[in-house]
Amino acid sequence: MIEITRLTKAFDHKVVVDNVSMTVETGTITVVVGTSGSGKSTLLRMINRLEEPSGGEVRINGQATSGMTPHLLRRRIGYAIQGNGLFPHHTVARNIGAVPRLLNWPKAQITDRVDELLDLFSMPPQEFRHRYPRELSGGQQQRVGVARALASRPDLLLMDEPFGALDPIIRHRAQEDLARIQRQLGSTIILVTHDMEEAIRLGDKVAVMDAGRLVQYAPPSDIIARPATRFVGEMLGEVDRPLRLLSLIPVADVSEPGDAPGAAIDAAASLRDALSACLWSGRDALPVVQGGRITLKAIRAKAEQPA
Ligand SMILES: Nc1ncnc2c1ncn2[C@@H]1O[C@H](COP(=O)(O)OP(=O)(O)OP(=O)(O)O)[C@@H](O)[C@H]1O
């Protein structure tokens, strides 16, 4: 568990992170979202002490980071940034193995870990292990950057706009990869972005920052249904709110017994996908692959503004 208590940072008397408190549960993804200059990166960089707090504290599994040696702290915390920060003259394997090497892991264990991570990121080790960063696409470089940050099985992974440089299609795939890998490894991740769509898609919890303050910290469905401030509402974009809400709910939650004509939809698909299929094929209900059906009426009820 990561406990952030009254964390504050001022640069030349200007407060850029203002009294932020939040608790991040082990094995979850927390996404910090806000406009440019709201203090997101500074908040993140105080967690691994790339910036020293002006006030407040961070505890990792009960231990205050202020009492740890910064470079030892940073070996326990993975850090992935936009543009991946890979060493250009080192192979993929050497890049991924950088921290385990610093920690003096035995060579065979490092090789196994590198191959395991490459497999996990769908990059066959035989093909990619010996390549240099320039011999990879932007999306592959980004995956290697994340694999490197995860290599030593850190207590925590901090990610600062990790997908910022990717085009929308690759970006979506990278987000799906990260969500899958996080579930598989049970990692604890704090990710910074200015993209609310990304925050809602990835976060178990979303932390919204406005001018240095944490204005809402809640699961995505709460953020959408009950934005705490006008600023949070603006970040969401009023028009898309029902669709965003539907994208968080699986078909399985509102399917019912009964039949419907035409192609079936998977129970794990979102209500947004189901709505899309209904509209596109002109149907009022769809059969569900695993049995039962999903109706337009049930989808609509879930998209209405909560009372
Ligand atoms: N080393 C520094 N010295 C002085 N001011 C700084 C320093 N680092 C950040 N700031 C200021 O602190 C404020 C918050 O910056 P920060 O990078 O945390 O915001 P951000 O929300 O991550 O923004 P962005 O999305 O643009 O990266 C900004 O006004 C920035 O200019």
CA distances from residue 78 to 47, 182, 227 in whole angstroms, order as listed: 11, 13, 31
Q: Residue with the nearest Cα to atom 17 of ligand 1?
A: 41
> What is the count of structural domains for the chain?
2
Q: Which residues 6+ apart lie within 8 Å of 265 measured at CB? A: 251, 273, 274, 277, 286, 287, 288, 289, 294
Tens of pLDDT along 169-190?
788 888 888 898 888 888 899 9
Backbone angles phi, psi at 289, to 5 degrees: -50, -45
Q: Average model confidence (pLDDT) for the chain?
A: 91
Whether 159 and 249 share a structural domain: no
* Model confidence pLDDT, tens digit, residues 105-125: 999 999 999 999 999 888 999
**pLDDT on residue 242:** 85
Distance CA 152, CA 73 (A): 13
306 DSSP assignment? P
Mean pLDDT value across residues 148-176 = 85
Residues 91 and 21: their CA atoms lie apart, in Å, by: 40
Q: Are residues 66 and 127 in the same domain?
A: yes
Q: How far is CA 278 from CA 84, 117, 232, 304, in A?
A: 40, 39, 31, 17
Could you tell me if 54 and 114 lie in one domain?
A: yes
Whether 36 and 83 share a structural domain: yes
Which CATH number goes with the domain that contains 162?
3.40.50.300
Atom 2 of ligand 1, nearest CA residue: 11
**How many residues belong to the chain?**
307
- 221, 193: one domain: yes
Same domain? For 195 and 253 the reply is no
* For the chain, percent of residues with pLDDT exceeding 90: 64
State which of 7, 18, 38, 46 you would mutate to test the pocket of ligand 1, scoring each by most atoms of that ligand within 8 A of its C-beta.
Answer: 38
Pocket of ligand 1 (CB under 6 A): 11, 16, 34, 36-42, 194
How far apart are the C-alpha atoms of 109 and 59, rounded to whole Å? 30
pLDDT at 163 exceeding the cut of 90: no
Distance 37 CA to ligand 1 centre (A): 5
Q: Say if pTM beats, i.e. exceeds, 0.90.
A: no
Residues 172 and 219 in one domain: yes
CATH of the domain at 299: 3.10.580.10
Which among 40, 54, 198 is the best mutation to test ligand 1's pocket, defined by most ligand atoms within 8 Å of the CB?
A: 40
Rounded distance between C-alpha atoms, residue 25 and residue 66, angstroms: 20
Query: Do residues 55 and 160 share a domain?
Result: yes
The boundaries of the domain holding residue 248 are: 243-303
Q: Is the pLDDT of residue 247 over 70?
A: yes
